[in-house]
Chain A
Amino acid sequence: MARIPIIKVGSALIATVDEDLTDDDALEFQERLNAAIERTGAAGVLIDVTLVETIDSFLGRLLHEIAVGARLLGATTVVAGIQPPVAMTLVELGLQLDGVKTALTAERGLAMLAAPSRANRAR
């Protein structure tokens, strides 16, 4: 069974999605992430999807919900490492992940969380 490890580094939580998730795995991750945000008071969440080969409408919608839920708990989410074919597929599917911050790589995603832009601070 896929378990997505969630680790805390500084004030951020980092989760690496490294398997072909079932819907239940993904929903379980959402719950565990929310609990981890509440427990740690993390200000940022990095979800690294570099290894994920398929993001369908279910997982795309869930990533959006995760980001919105984390924001309501006071944390900024960055989804990092969406592979180019996955990005194109999401666009064609009609899922643009509006309002979800993204970064090309996990490294850039962490940099975004470490140094929020002026716009982020104002919010």
Chain B
Amino acid sequence: MLDERVLTISGEADIVTARQAARQFAAALGFNAMDQSRITTAVSELARNVVRYATNSHGVVHVRETEAGGRIGIEIVVADEGPGIADTEQAMRRGFSSGNGLGLGLSGTGRLMDEMDMKSAPGEGTCVTIRKWRR
């Protein structure tokens, strides 16, 4: 049976909670220390984006087990009802930042994971899905 955890983000302390949950989940699925670090860091970046940019810093994180072609993976969906992003490709590009960061958050998240998709439109919130497959 595939397992799932759901967490609500409503402030900065939840960034820590989200990454702890992601690390525990990844460890339980048998990801090695290197991949646990990648997954935890990716979740930290996405959770921080929610706290920084979403309306009332509110968002929801789903952490779940996934399977495809006989492979076991972890899938994390981070969704918010914030202002949304008009150009998701630009947002995922290295060096792009709308805030005061270095623009490494989203592009870096993509490099740490095997797959990342982002769905967003102005006024319609943002939903980022990331996956990593166990080797």
Contact = CB atoms under 8 A, between A and B. Distances in A.
B40 interface: yes
A86 interface: yes
B108 to A, nearest CB: 4
B16 A22 contact: yes
B112 A92 contact: yes
B132 interface: no
Contact of A85 (B33, B108, B111): B33
Interface stretch (B41-49, B71-79, B118-126): B41-49
Interface string B32-58: 011011101100110010000000000
Interface stretch (A37-45, A51-59, A99-107, A113-121): A51-59
B68 interface: no
A20 B16 contact: yes
Contact of B37 (A21, A53, A58): A53
B37 A57 contact: no
Q: Is the interface of B mostly helix, strand, loop or mixed?
A: helix
Given A23-B48, A53-B23, A93 B41 contact: yes
9 contacts: A54-B37, A54-B40, A57-B102, A61-B101, A61-B102, A86-B37, A88-B34, A88-B37, A92-B111
Interface of B: 12-13, 15-16, 19-20, 23, 33-34, 36-38, 40-41, 44-45, 48, 94, 101-102, 104-105, 107-108, 111-112
Given A21-B16, A92-B38, A94-B104, 17 more contacts: A54-B37, A54-B41, A54-B44, A56-B48, A57-B101, A57-B102, A58-B44, A58-B48, A85-B34, A85-B37, A88-B34, A89-B37, A93-B41, A93-B104, A94-B94, A94-B111, A95-B108
